[in-house]
Structure 1
Amino acid sequence: MADVPYSWLGEDPYTGAPKLYEAIGAAWTPAEAARLNGVVARPAGTRPHTYDLARYGLTRAGVEAAFAGYNALRAEVDRP
């Protein structure tokens, strides 16, 4: 599991995507770079993400409880 800032991909995907591949030990090849060009060129909002916890038998309260320690650590680390 690699926990990387979303900004790596959102702000500068041409730098962030290769960093993500490196973080998980994968090779960044010209084929991945070519696919990235297509993703970046796609207009925003053309592929919206929708999530439903119930699909996986989860509740918001259960997820918040399970990740409480992680979220507290992240809040501490991300603090300016």
Structure 2
Amino acid sequence: MSIENMPVMHGKQIKQIPMRLLLPYEEQALRNHSQSLQRLAERGGMNACEILGIVRGLRWSQLKPHPDDEANLIKWVASKA
């Protein structure tokens, strides 16, 4: 069964995003997490920093959490609407 939304772990203003927005970045998710987007969603999702990392093409080692990650994720999702 396919999950339609990716949970945003520890999200205060955004709790999930449509999986369809992340599908083009599946390869980066596999590189960073060694798991498919489906499996990541089944396991509770990703935090805003991790999601931004995959859509920006960053490797796991390049991820640096910032206080504005959630706000930036909200802006990214809005730009895809």
Q: TM-score, normalised by structure 2?
A: 0.28
Flag the structure with higher helix content. Answer: 1
Higher relative contact order (CA 8 A, sep 6+): 2
> If the length of structure 1 is used for normalisation, what is the TM-score?
0.29
More strand by share: 2
